[in-house]
Amino acid sequence: MASIHKAVLDLKSLDLLANGNSSVHRLDARAKVLVSLVFILCVVSYGRYELAVLFPFFIFPIVMISMAGLPPLFILKKILLLCPFVLAVGIFNPVFDRQILLHLGPLGISGGWVSFASILTRSILTVGTGFILVGVTGFTAVCQALEKLGMPRVFAVQLLFLYRYIFVLTEESGRASRARELRSCGKKGLGIHSFSSLVGHLLLRTWQRAERIHMAMLARGFTGEFHASRQSGFGMPEIRFALIWSTLFIFLRLQNVPQLLGSLITGLNP
């Protein structure tokens, strides 16, 4: 029963990060959304057995975290709760792919393990970028950026509505769920029957709330769109930010930087 409140708290704390006021926070959200998309595309465009080439890409999340002053441990903890599906699917790679791909001295490492490590690294990079995007931009601003980039207005309004009411309804459902758990000794009474009437009541209340909200909105002159309180333009800082990062990602994607650096350090190449 603590989990609902914890999840809501987690959601809030991630969103609160967006209230910061660093140079990254102040950028227009469109620039950050675009750079994040270029980053993710570059990371996932590598082949299955690429591992070392992914490491230079860590520069982006690290720089963003330190420039924006996000709490690194908080982000790290969220990343470590990786999507279990990725782990479940990825762990089969070592099972099915036993071909020895590289030798480290006497130790032969199979392709499966390399690709599993690659999947984990991708996962950390892409998931981390998502969190950082929300942490430096905020959900509302991401929605508005997407709308300016061509997302239909109805969908943008839907997202903003949803986001506004998540907090209200999860708190309500958390209270209801806690009351039910306190009344059911141990596991008794937590079955599907009480669940459906609980959720059904929640649904009916939600429905009535939506009707009230709609009337209140009509009374205040709602015409089908929200107005942003903070306007920002796509100026020089945004262009600079988008250009520098995208160029870096594409450069990293085309040049094998770890290989160049490694042979420079070890002098192993003839």
Q: Which of residues 109-148 bind another protein (CB under 8 A)?
A: 111-112, 115, 118-120, 122-123, 126-127, 129-131, 133-134, 139, 142
Footprint (CB under 8 A) of another protein, residues 58-117: 58-59, 62-63, 65-67, 69, 78-79, 81-83, 85-86, 89-90, 92-93, 95-97, 99-104, 111-112, 115
Q: How far is the CB of 135 from another protein (least distance, A)?
A: 10
| Closest by Cα among 118, 123, 33, 47 to 78 | 123
Tell me the HSE value of 214 on the side-chain side, using a 13 A CA sphere: 6
Stretch that binds another protein, among 217-225, 229-237, 238-246 (CB under 8 A): 217-225
Residue 21 vs 233, nearer CB to another protein? 21
* Spatial contact of 55 and 46, defined as CB atoms under 8 Å apart: no
Q: Where are the alpha helices (DSSP H) in 18-108?
A: 23-26, 29-44, 59-68, 72-80, 84-90, 93-96
* Among 41-49, 227-235, 236-244, the segment contacting another protein (CB under 8 A): 41-49
Determine if 266 is a binding residue for another protein (CB under 8 A). yes
Phi-psi region of 69 (alpha: psi -120 to 50; beta: other; left: phi over 0): left
Burial label for 115, CB within 10 Å (0-12, 13-18, 19+), is: buried
Site for another protein in 154-173 (CB under 8 A): 154-155, 157-166, 168-170, 172-173
Smallest CA-to-CA distance from 51 within 108, 126, 114, 128 is with 114
Of 152-160, 227-235, 237-245, the segment contacting another protein by CB under 8 A is: 152-160
Shortest gap between Cβ of 52 and another protein (angstroms)?
Answer: 3
